């Protein structure tokens, strides 16, 4: 399996790809857009994208990209995230004047960051990329929030460990591919739809699932560009697309939705039962 991910070696997306398939070949990309392009136009079969975090919430850019591209979702993986404050060897915490990381990582470590004084917080494109940045600059007055593996890759020291606001810090990743064939037996479906702006429209849309006892596990709205204050609605439902009740619900929804598209039907993540897998999570 060949999987494209956004970021440098040591990024959490890379760890998620290896968690899904420890034997996978992984390929770094500079941006999320590049991940989609790599899957769409090269021999790399899959791309992995963070979509939501239990502390920081949704990664909105990737919701937008799922609509802009025609790559179906074929799997998902959950990764427990432990953040570390990394610095060039010899740097002390008192000497740090700037801290770099991805906006999501910064949001997940707000309490730790608020406890520091006189430190500039700088958002970057990637956690591991931030580690690479301070390594390349040999910056003894800076630090990066990233994974322990990023510290190992770029030869950095750990100034503080487990600095996220909550121990239960879990990021959900989606796997996309050119082929719609799911990686496992599907029991979950993601879709996106738009509605007419009229009273009760969203209530009626959600009722098609409630009436059939279909569990709605995620609902997200995103603005439609060029149409002020109109929205796309993303939904995850705990039923495969080929299920008769799901098919009936989507036919019902299509009767009054302005648009409806299935983004993928795939297997929801199941935690590995092996001890090796548990060790892998702890080291991520």
Residues 74 and 175 in one domain: yes
- 76 three-class SS: strand
- The mean pLDDT of 167-192, rounded to a whole number, is 96
Torsion angles phi and psi, residue 81, rounded to 5: -110, 125
What digits encode the pLDDT tens for the residues 188-214? 999 999 999 999 999 999 999 999 999
Rounded distance, CA 16 to CA 224, Å?
30
Residues 156 and 275 in one domain: no
- The mean pLDDT of 71-92, rounded to a whole number, is 97
Rounded distance, CA 23 to CA 46, Å?
14
Q: What is the pLDDT at residue 274?
A: 56
Catalytic residue among 82, 171, 189, 194: 171
CA triple 132-134-139, angle to 5 deg: 155
Q: What is the pLDDT at residue 272?
A: 75
- The mean pLDDT of 49-53, rounded to a whole number, is 96
CATH of the domain at 155: 3.40.190.10
Residues 61 and 88 in one domain: no
* pLDDT over threshold 60, residue 57: yes
For residues 245 and 273, the model is more confident at 245
Total domain count, the chain: 3
Q: What is the pLDDT at residue 112?
A: 96
Residues 73 and 8 in one domain: yes
| H/E run at residue 108 | helix 103-108
Q: What range defines the domain where residue 29 resides?
A: 2-81+169-181+269-283
Residues 17 and 88 in one domain: no
Residues 72 and 133 in one domain: no
Residues 221 and 275 in one domain: no
Beta bridge partners of 29: 6
Q: Predicted confidence band at 43 (pLDDT cuts at 50, 70, 90)? A: confident
Residues 101 and 203 in one domain: no
Residues 70 and 94 in one domain: no
Q: What is the pLDDT at residue 113?
A: 97
Percent of the chain with pLDDT over 70: 96
- 283 three-class SS: helix
Q: What is the pLDDT at residue 42?
A: 83
Catalytic residue among 32, 154, 173, 193: 173
Residues 108 and 11 in one domain: no
Rounded distance, CA 211 to CA 225, Å?
32
Kindly give, in sequence order, each residue whose CB lies less than 8 Å from that of residue 153, ignoring residues fewer than 6 positions away: 8, 9, 10, 128, 131
Residues 177 and 70 in one domain: yes
Query: Rg (Cα) of the chain, in Å, rounded?
Result: 20
- The mean pLDDT of 74-79, rounded to a whole number, is 97
- The mean pLDDT of 108-122, rounded to a whole number, is 95
Residues 174 and 47 in one domain: yes
Rounded distance, CA 277 to CA 267, Å?
18
CATH of the domain at 227: 3.30.70.260
Residue 233 catalytic? Answer: no
Rounded distance, CA 238 to CA 245, Å?
11
Residue 112 catalytic? Answer: no
């Amino acid at each position: 399996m060949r999987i494209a991910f956004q970021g440098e070696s040591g990024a959490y997306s890379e760890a998620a790809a290896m968690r899904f398939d420890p034997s996978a070949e992984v390929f770094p990309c500079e941006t999320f857009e590049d991940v989609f392009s790599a899957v769409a136009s090269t021999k790399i079969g899959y791309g992995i994208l963070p979509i939501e975090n239990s502390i920081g919430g949704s990664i909105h850019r990737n919701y937008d990209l799922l609509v802009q591209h025609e790559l179906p979702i074929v799997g998902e993986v959950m990764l427990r995230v432990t953040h570390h404050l990394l610095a060039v060897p010899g740097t002390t915490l008192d000497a740090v004047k700037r801290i770099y990381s991805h906006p999501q990582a910064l949001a997940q470590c707000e309490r730790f960051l608020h406890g520091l004084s006189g430190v500039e917080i700088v958002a970057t494109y990637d956690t591991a990329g931030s580690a690479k940045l301070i390594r390349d600059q040999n910056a003894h007055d800076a630090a990066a929030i990233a994974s322990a593996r990023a510290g190992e890759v770029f030869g950095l020291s750990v100034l503080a460990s487990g600095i996220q606001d909550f121990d239960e810090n879990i990021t959900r990743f989606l796997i996309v591919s050119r082929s719609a064939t799911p990686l496992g037996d599907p029991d979950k479906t993601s879709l996106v739809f738009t509605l007419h702006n009229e009273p009760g429209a969203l209530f009626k849309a959600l009722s098609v699932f409630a009436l059939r006892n279909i569990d709605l596990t995620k609902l997200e709205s995103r603005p439609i560009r060029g149409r002020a204050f109109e929205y796309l609605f993303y939904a995850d439902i705990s039923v495969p697309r080929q299920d008769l009740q799901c098919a009936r619900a989507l036919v019902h929804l299509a009767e009054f939705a302005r648009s409806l598209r299935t983004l993928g039907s795939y297997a929801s993540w199941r935690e590995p039962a092996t001890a090796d897998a548990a060790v892998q999570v702890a080291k991520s």
